[in-house]
Structure 1
Amino acid sequence: MRTIDDKIIYALNTTVPTQSFKGQVDASATCQDLYSQLEKSYSQRDSAIKRCISQVSTTVTKLREARAQDPDNVTVNRNLKKERTKLQLMQSELNIEEIVKDRSYKVFHERCRNHFIPSTTLSS
């Protein structure tokens, strides 16, 4: 899902013209389209990560309840630990997502600032 972020520099280099070629390509439309793609991608990824966090949180809650009823059940304790670890990883993925977004927005702003200024601020 991070393909657009991985290839943003390439996309900007191939679609946003340098000063010498600025008359040949509509840089404003290109930058606006790329910004829309970034926003759509971020929205989808954020939604997917939060949906996963919600599902794992529900599982953790159920396992806690099962552990409360039978604290000596090794299987429940093992599964609870595994699900808690999974939950922590998914929550840290939200932090990683912010770092990726900031990096992509900085690159975008650097190349498109003269062609397109989004109505929303670039930093979240």
Structure 2
Amino acid sequence: MAAPSGVPCADIQLFMEKLKERRQTDDRIIHELNSLFPKEEFAGKVNFTSQCKDLYHTMRTGHSGRIYDITACIQETADKAKNLKQQRDKDPENYKISKNLRKEQGNLRLFQQELNVEEIVWERAEKAFYERCRTYYKPDS
């Protein structure tokens, strides 16, 4: 099964690569903000409120989508692990079931770690945004 973004949860490496691509705006927030605020000679010609609002909307939409995808993969992986655990309880001698259960439990931990990473990325991006755009745009939290 795939996350709502279309990336399969079972392919952890592909999921992480896509997540990294989708975090580019947040990872490059300082660059984005520096390019948003041009040199003083152009300052009177730029609508900073609109630009800050657009950047925040882009950041927020990306964050919400990533959280949704990670949470969906956590749920899917937890369900798989639960089913495998039930199968293992019925057939404790089956090595393949135990091996698959450990794999799914490891994947579940990776997804949970990514959820924590996502929160850190968001806090960092939000702080940088606030420092530069606070006088032009205050988002409705």
TM-score by length of 1: 0.91
Residue 107 of structure 2 is matched in structure 1 by 86
**Counterpart check, 1:118 vs 2:126:** no
Could you tell me which residue of structure 1 aligns to residue 78 of structure 2?
Answer: 57
Q: Which residue of 2 aligns with 1:70?
A: 91
The one-letter amino acid paired with 1:43 is S
Root mean square deviation of aligned Cα: 1.2
Q: 2:68 is matched with which residue: 47, 52, 58?
A: 47
SS class of match (1:22): helix
Deviation at 1:93, TM superposition (A): 0.9
Quick one: which of 122, 129, 135 aligns to 1:101? 122
TM superposition outliers: structure 1 runs of 4+ over 4 Å: none
Within 5 Å, which residues of 2 pair with 1:19-38?
Answer: 21-38=42-59
> Shift of residue 92 of structure 1?
1.2
Name which structure has the greater RCO, CA cutoff 8 Å, separation 6+. 1
Q: Which amino acid aligns with 1:87?
A: L
**1:13-69 Cα shifts (integer Å, max 9, x gaps):** 111245554212100000000000011001100010011111101110110111011
The size of the alignment, in residue pairs, is 120
Identical pairs, percent: 39
CA distance in structure 1 between the partners assigned to 2:28 and 2:74 by the alignment: 27
Aligned 8 A contact 2:27 2:121 in 1: no
Deviations 1:2-22 (A, max 9, x none): 011122111111112455542
